[in-house]
Structures are given as structure tokens and as C-alpha cells.
Amino acid sequence: MSWCFKRKFSKPIPPAQNRIDLTTALGRSLDPFFFATVRFYVTKINMESIYFEKQEGSLCAQHCLNALLQGPYFTAVDLAMHAQNLDDEERIRMAESGVDTDEYRTFLQQPSGNMDDSGYFSVQVISSCLSVWGLELVRYSSTEKKAVDAQKHPELMKAYICNYKDHWFTVRKLACQWFNLNSLSSGPKLISDTYLGMFLAQLQQEGYSIFVVLGDFPQCEADIVLKNNPIKQVNETSTATSSKQSSASIRPFEGIGYRLGGSSPSCVTQDENEELQRALQLSMAGDVGHPDENGDDLELRKAIELSLRPSSHHSSEGTSSLSKPSSEEADDADLQRALTMSLECIDADEVKRKRLAYFEKLNSTPT
């Protein structure tokens, strides 16, 4: 029976040279978006292998220890028992000097310094819990050899415990990568080896107390998973995307024009005059094909050039032209005033409308 089963269902394994990689095989028919999606979910699965507890009440010490050991090793009751044992040891030491002393009576009246009703636990409680697993805490800023080594090469250590006021959190290396396991975050945060030293220095500047965790940690799933499949940093493309969108949203001719001959904040510079002149000349290029308007275009261009010269923004030119007796000079004065009015606000549609109105006026005038 077993022989028939093997003959019917088993298949020979192809030679190594005939095998094909899954990525290579799928890449022949699928686009890169598929592989990006696969990488995303693989990264998500790998991140889920990291044990992480979100903040509940004031139990950050419990979350810190369990994140450090990568498992639900301690509860609030366990930490309270360690705190009670520490209180008993302190009371025994105080009683050695005599139970009738004022110091001993004062000690009994004071609340516990190792825990409180909110769920806070002292560093002595955390150190006592870690001693069960053979782990030791050394202050990061001390002069001990391990602490000095950690200051020089923080990436060579295994874990750090950070404390500020009543909050505790863990920074631990899993496989070959560092993670910030702060219970106030939404999940584990990857930290590069280069950034680790700067991160610890920043915490010190903010007033955190940092402790180096020494010893052999219990084996965890994340060490195995991340050793074979390390987390890859996702490249941020939001900056490039936003810059592309901002550049695409720029529309021409949406700027604010300036009045000629105005005050210094709103006066037009020489470069703006030249750009305006080129724009007006280009806008009139469509009318050059009509032979009956060539003369008017030439006169209009000359008037524009005169109006854009530095000395042409004074209004005396317009007033002096009113005293000229000839009709041709009167037309020139009207043209000058029209140009001055059209250039008060540089808008392409407004300039075109006034220019067409001027041409209609010329065409309606009997010759």
C-alpha cells in the first residue's frame, strides 16, 4: 500500500540547476506593484513576530519588562510582590538600629518607595525582576567598563531601559536590528545602528535615565524570524510626491501686476518691464497677418516702448500732448492714456480687451 502511494503521489525533486526562484518565476508575469505589496505584508508579518504591549493605565514598568524579555513574563501582581519584598527588606534593615527610634517610626509612616497605587514601580523593582533571569542593570552614564563601552559603541549592546519620571520603556536589539518598544507608540519602531547613538543622546538631553541591560536573554521568536528576514526601511516618497504636485499646480499668469510710476514697493523693475514688453509684443503677433492693421501695430509698439522707458511713467507727457492742435497728435495722446490705464494692472485678458476696444475705435473713425 505504501509503495502504491509513493508511486502515485510522490514526484521526483528537480535538479538544482532546473529549479527556479519564486521571485524570478512571478516576475515574468507580474508587475513591480505585486512585489511591493508582498514585501509590505512580509514586513508586517515580521513586525508582528515582535512582542509588544501597548500602554494600559500606568503599567509601563510591566510593559517595559515584557518587551525586554519578549513575552508575557510579568504581571502587575508579580511586580507588586517584588516591591513588597523590597519593602520588607528595607524595614528589616531599619529595625536593626532599634524599633523604638524616631527614624524607624518615621519609616513606618511613610508610603512605599517601590510602588504606588497608580501602578508605578521603582528601578529597584525592575532590577529585582530582571535578576530572576540573570540580567543586570548598569547606568549608562556611569564609569563602569560596560557603560563606557556602551557609550563608545551603543550598537554592540543588547538592550537599554529608559526612564523619565514615571514612564519606562525598552530599546532592544532583535537579531541584528534595534527597535524602540515604547508602549506609548502604536507599535515597534525600527532604529538604525547609526541613529541609535543619537537617539540615546537625545534622551539624555531630555532628562531620561538610561540603563544598559547585561546578561543572556531568553530565546524569542522575533530573534529567529528577523535573523532570516530582517525588516527593511521603507523609502519615503511623500516629499518627492508633494514637490511634484506643487510644481504641477503652478499656473502661468496668476501673479499680481504692479502699477507703473507707483511707490517703491509696487514699482516695476527693469526686468519686469522687459518681460512685460515681450509679453505684449507676443500678444500682438496674431494680428500681424492683416495688412490694414500693420501701421497701427507699429504705432502701438512704439508707444509701448516709450511708455516702458524709465522716464515715461511721469504723467507730464500725457498732459502736454493735450495742447497739440493736430488730430494725429490728439490720437497719440488718447493712445498714451489708454496704454497707461491698461498697464495699471498687468492682466492679460484686460490688456487684450482694451487693445481690441482701441482698434474698434480706430476702425469706426471715418477716414
Q: Which residues are catalytic?
A: 60, 167, 182
**Residues 272 and 280 sit within 8 Å (Cβ to Cβ):** no
Residues with Cβ within 8 Å of 344's Cβ and at least 6 positions away in sequence, in order, are 257, 259, 260
What SS3 state is found at 168?
Answer: strand
Residue 318 CB neighbour total at 10 angstroms: 14
d(CA 181, CA 154): 17
- Gap between the terminal Cα atoms of the chain: 117
What SS3 state is found at 213?
Answer: strand
**Residues 212 and 150 sit within 8 Å (Cβ to Cβ):** yes
d(CA 87, CA 82): 9
Please state, in angstroms and as integers, the Cα–Cα distance from residue 84 to each residue in 79, 104, 178, following that order.
9, 17, 34
Per the listing, cell 516702458 goes with 308
Per the listing, cell 518565476 goes with 25
Name the grid cell of 284.
500682438
Residue 178 region by backbone torsions, left for phi larger than 0, else alpha for psi between -120 and 50, else beta: beta
Exposure on the CB side of residue 172, measured as CA atoms within 13 A = 26
Residue 240 CB neighbour total at 10 angstroms: 10
